[in-house]
Amino acid sequence: MQHDPISDPQDLPQYNNAERARAASRSTWVSVGVNLVLSTLQIVAGVLSKSQALVADGLHSLSDLVADFVVLFANHHSQKAADADHPYGHQRFENAASLVLGLLLLVVGLGMLWSAASKLQNPDLIATVHIGALWVALGALTAKELLFRYMLLVAKKVKSSMLVANAWHARSDAASSLVVGVGIIGNLAGYPIFDPIAAALVGFMVTRMGWSFGWTALHDLMDRAVDDAELQAIRQTLQQTPGVSGVHDIRTRMMGDMIVVDAHLEVLATLTVEQAHDITVAAQQRVMQHHRVLHLLTHVDPYHRPDLDHTQAPGA
């Protein structure tokens, strides 16, 4: 069935890859500054106040700092133009970066668990922490939660899975600071074992999040398709292209945060090759302009209408 064309192509949202790159760089540098201050403050305060949980939280912030530089590196390289060795571009640097972030979190989390387990095996050696550790933990909690909300807002605005992963990394820090604060309060209340228990909980949270990020990135590297909502949006844009009578057999795969699409377009069988070609070019331009599509490969199928027995482009 023939679909009516959109009267104004500007009705569709515009997709701006350059804006994504700028937003990613800006938000990540903000995260760098926050994590640099927090990791230094938490580790120094944790050592001086004898709080293993605060030191663990500081190491978590330090892993965030390393993760920020991984994101900056990937963001820079993913913007490189296509070349002979990478004809589809370098967008999968972002998937690789998300995988690295996941592995980094796994290593840090398992290290925290190991350290906390060692302390729990010798509870008599656990020291009472200084109250200053509590104020540092509460300050870190506030800073990390604000950072998370800022980064997630930017990530959703530009639809970047890499930035979403980095934002939730910041949220994991906020959650870990909350656990650390509770552990320190328990220690100060006369239960020293609460501090290494808090450190172990932080380690578990970090390990779990690292597994989640790494697994997701691995699936993206194996050409995972986009979700149904985004697929239907792309289908609608194709179907509303003037001259397209139908769309079927759409396949998608992730290329970084971009999408590669294959689709079969139905056009009137009475059109010339040149007219059919012009329709597919228009469809490609519309999809790539209004969606995060890196490349659209089309296959033209003839559509027969008994009421049309002469060559005429739809809308002509």
pLDDT (average), residues 265-294 = 90
Same domain assignment for residues 88 and 232: no
State how far the Cα of 301 lies from the Cα of 309, in Å rounded to an integer. 17
66 within domain boundaries? yes
- Global pTM? 0.59
Same domain assignment for residues 290 and 172: no
Judge whether residue 305 has pLDDT over 80: no
245 within domain boundaries? yes
Whether 9 and 284 have beta carbons less than 8 Å apart is answered as: no
pLDDT confidence band for 232 (50 / 70 / 90): very high
Whether 276 and 236 have beta carbons less than 8 Å apart is answered as: no
Judge whether residue 10 has pLDDT over 50: no
Same domain assignment for residues 59 and 112: yes
Same domain assignment for residues 133 and 153: yes
pLDDT exceeding 90 applies to what percent of the chain?
16
Least confident of 36-45, 68-77, 175-184, 262-271: 68-77
* Predicted pLDDT at 86: 64
Average pLDDT of every residue of the chain: 79
Q: Residue 257 belongs to a domain with what CATH number? A: 3.30.70.1350
Same domain assignment for residues 121 and 231: no
1 within domain boundaries? no
pLDDT tens, position by position, 116-145: 887 788 777 677 788 888 899 899 889 988
* Predicted pLDDT at 7: 37
140 within domain boundaries? yes
313 within domain boundaries? no
* Predicted pLDDT at 194: 86
Q: What's the domain range around 72?
A: 17-221
Judge whether residue 248 has pLDDT over 70: yes
Domain-ending residue, one of 221, 244, 272: 221
Same domain assignment for residues 215 and 66: yes
Taking the C-alpha atoms of 19, 22, 28 and 29 in order, what is their torsion angle to the nearest 10 degrees?
Answer: -150
Q: Residue 111 belongs to a domain with what CATH number? A: 1.20.1510.10
Same domain assignment for residues 207 and 238: no
pLDDT confidence band for 5 (50 / 70 / 90): very low
Domain-ending residue, one of 194, 221, 248: 221
pLDDT (average), residues 289-295 = 85
Domain count, the chain: 2
Judge whether residue 13 has pLDDT over 60: no
Whether 88 and 101 have beta carbons less than 8 Å apart is answered as: no
Same domain assignment for residues 149 and 278: no
